[in-house]
Chains A and B, each alone.
Chain A
Amino acid sequence: GQNIDQPTEMTATEGAIVQINCTYQTSGFNGLFWYQQHAGEAPTFLSYNVLDGLEEKGRFSSFLSRSKGYSYLLLKELQMKDSASYLCAALSNTGFQKLVFGTGTRLLVSP
């Protein structure tokens, strides 16, 4: 089966660090994507992990553990504009490379 779990909502303060977790059970797993989506807008690509470990891109980092079926997105030095939904999506290769999305984590950054 295909299942992606992530928290529904999180809150944090400007300047802080927040970690958004994602667990997955996906057949034919072939990598993990994170997207950012502001309300009513297009999701924008943040990161892709296919190997275990941490990938760092500026204030955003993403981690993957394939053996544990676990990923997280780490946001540092939070800014107000980081208030958005963060979508975890597993790439599933079952004859076709398909993205299986979680429900998204809505992050609210307060002053």
Chain B
Amino acid sequence: DGGITQSPKYLFRKEGQNVTLSCEQNLNHDAMYWYRQDPGQGLRLIYYSQIVNDFQKGDIAEGYSVSREKKESFPLTVTSAQKNPTAFYLCASSIDSSDQPQHFGDGTRLSIL
């Protein structure tokens, strides 16, 4: 079945460590997105990519980095510069970056030890 796979489901990070969250899709979608979800707040856009080998900062990109070397993959690295990384991270994709609905993965919950 086609879909979006995020791994791991739960991730723990020590202070000062970088961690990478995986996002893979087999929907042949051009556009991919990373969001952060915190209690009492709406989803906030971290980075997006409209096409392979291209990506742009979203509203809260500081302390994060991404790559888009393959169409199906859009990993997110949470660096030590992100001072409040504990959150639920959601990856999404859409056919293109027009008005097509975004489809979401099951998320990764990141916690700081």
User: What residues make up the interface of A, taking CB atoms closer than 8 Å to B?
Assistant: 4, 30-31, 33, 35, 40-45, 48, 50, 87, 89, 91, 96-104
Contacts and interface: CB of A to CB of B under 8 A. Distances in A.
A42 to B, nearest CB: 4
Nearest to A47: B101
Nearest to B99: A31
B97 interface: yes
Given A4-B42, A44-B104, A87-B43, A30 B99 contact: yes
Interface string B85-113: 00010100000011101111111010000
Contacts of B35: 101
11 contacts: A40-B88, A41-B106, A43-B90, A48-B99, A96-B48, A98-B48, A100-B42, A101-B42, A102-B42, A103-B42, A104-B42
A42 B101 contact: no
Interface of B: 4, 35, 40-45, 48, 50, 56, 58, 88, 90, 97-99, 101-107, 109
Interface majority SS (helix, strand, loop, mixed), chain A: strand
Contacts, number: 54
Contacts of A42: 4, 90, 104-107
Q: Which of A31, A42, A96, A104: most chain B CB closer than 10 A?
A: A42
A96 B99 contact: no
A99 B102 contact: yes
A9 to B, nearest CB: 11
A98 B99 contact: no
A33 B101 contact: yes
Contact of A96 (B40, B88, B97): B97
